[in-house]
């Protein structure tokens, strides 16, 4: 008859213990002046204690959402999260800042910082490049929306780097197709590099590999034309010598070169 009472007592003690743990783990709310919270967060950021600074900047907005400090605290919280390598949380904070403050004088920095969050996570060309594409889109937003911003110059530099990285991904896939005996699939990848990433360092090799793929398919005229384009645009390139050898199959240049240019074609820049 006493067993049910004993079980009830244990259940009550367990509930009390859970309640006690819950209240102990929660950070108590302490109302403080906005300047005090912000300065504490800022000091932590100056010391490099970004994991401590981020929630303190959030606390500024939580306790004083309508103060002049709140908007700046939003952006500073995102910056602290970025410095703490919490990129996903930083992007979420930046998206929120941009949505709530589209005309803020620092919104250009928000777009730029968002791009940096993606840029810092770029991986080698052997893996998925979604983050590279996200970085490219974010930096392009900076250059389009804020052409006079002090962040635009660096954004343009990083656009070039991300585009080169994406071209490198296409080249890696194209090479794999070529080595696997699938020249048609390889051609699509190399042409994409030439057409979409024409200002990158990957183009000379793309033209060589395209020449190689045409030779593999027995398309001699296409191979020669592609090698000629490579020779016109990159005459001193190491890739040009290989492309020339592939396209001519060992013939002397004098035997095939006409008065109007290589192979008799007057070729200009592609």
Q: What is the arithmetic mean of pLDDT over 2-23?
A: 38
Q: Domain boundary at 104, 124, 148, which? A: 104
The per-residue pLDDT for range 99-120, each reduced to its tens digit, is 999 999 999 999 999 999 999 9
19 is a domain residue:
no
14 is a domain residue:
no
pTM value is 0.75
Q: Which residue shows structure tokens 């930046």? A: 94
Q: Domain boundary at 46, 74, 104, which? A: 104
Q: What is the arithmetic mean of pLDDT over 239-248?
A: 83
CA distances 184 to 59, 65, 103, 190, 192, Å, are 58, 59, 49, 10, 13
Burial of 110-137, coded b for 16+ CB within 10 Å and e otherwise, reads: bbbbbbbbbbeebeebeeebebbbbbbe
Q: What is the arithmetic mean of pLDDT over 71-97?
A: 95
CA distances 214 to 74, 139, 167, 194, 257, Å, are 55, 36, 20, 15, 20
The per-residue pLDDT for range 137-186, each reduced to its tens digit, is 999 999 999 999 999 999 999 999 999 999 999 999 999 999 999 999 99
Domain span holding position 208: 202-259
241 is a domain residue:
yes
When divided into structural domains, the chain yields a total of 2
Q: What is the pLDDT of residue 245?
A: 84
Cross-strand bridge partners of residue 261: 258
The whole-angstrom separation of Cα 88 and Cα 151 is 21
212 is a domain residue:
yes
What average pLDDT does the structure give for the chain? 82
81 is a domain residue:
yes
117 is a domain residue:
no
Structure tokens at 38: 């912000």
Q: What is the arithmetic mean of pLDDT over 120-124?
A: 89
Indicate whether 14 pLDDT > 70.
no
Q: In this structure, what CATH number is given to the domain that contains residue 37?
A: 1.25.40.10
Indicate whether 261 pLDDT > 50.
no
User: On the CB side of 29, how many CA atoms lie within 13 Å of its CA?
Assistant: 6
Q: What is the pLDDT of residue 28?
A: 58
Indicate whether 15 pLDDT > 90.
no
Q: Domain boundary at 45, 71, 104, which? A: 104
Indicate whether 258 pLDDT > 90.
no
146 is a domain residue:
no
138 is a domain residue:
no
In this structure, are residues 209 and 167 in contact, taking their beta carbons and an 8 Å threshold? no
């Amino acid at each position: 008859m006493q067993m049910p009472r004993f079980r009830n007592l244990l259940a009550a003690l367990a509930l009390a213990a859970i309640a006690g743990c819950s209240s102990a783990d929660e950070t108590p709310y302490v109302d403080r002046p906005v300047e005090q919270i912000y300065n504490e967060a800022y000091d932590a950021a100056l010391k490099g204690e970004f994991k401590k600074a981020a929630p303190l900047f959030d606390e500024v907005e939580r306790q004083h959402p309508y103060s002049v400090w709140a908007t700046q605290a939003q952006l500073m919280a995102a910056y602290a999260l970025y410095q703490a390598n919490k990129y996903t949380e930083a992007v979420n904070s930046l998206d929120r800042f941009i949505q709530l403050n589209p005309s803020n004088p620092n919104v250009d920095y928000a777009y730029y910082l968002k791009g940096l969050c993606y840029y810092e996570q770029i991986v080698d060309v052997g893996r998925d490049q979604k983050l590279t594409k996200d970085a490219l889109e974010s930096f392009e937003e900076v250059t389009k929306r804020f052409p006079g911003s002090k962040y635009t110059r660096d954004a343009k530099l990083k656009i070039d780097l991300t585009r080169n990285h994406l071209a490198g991904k296409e080249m890696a896939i194209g090479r794999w197709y070529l080595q696997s005996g699938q020249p048609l699939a390889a051609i699509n990848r190399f042409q994409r590099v030439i057409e979409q990433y024409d200002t990158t360092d990957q183009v000379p090799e793309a033209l060589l590999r395209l020449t190689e793929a045409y030779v593999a398919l027995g398309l001699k005229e296409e191979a020669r034309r592609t090698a000629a384009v490579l020779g016109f645009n990159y005459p001193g390139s190491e890739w040009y010598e290989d492309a020339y050898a592939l396209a001519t199959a060992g013939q002397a240049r004098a035997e095939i070169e006409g008065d109007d240019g290589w192979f008799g074609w007057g070729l200009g820049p592609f």
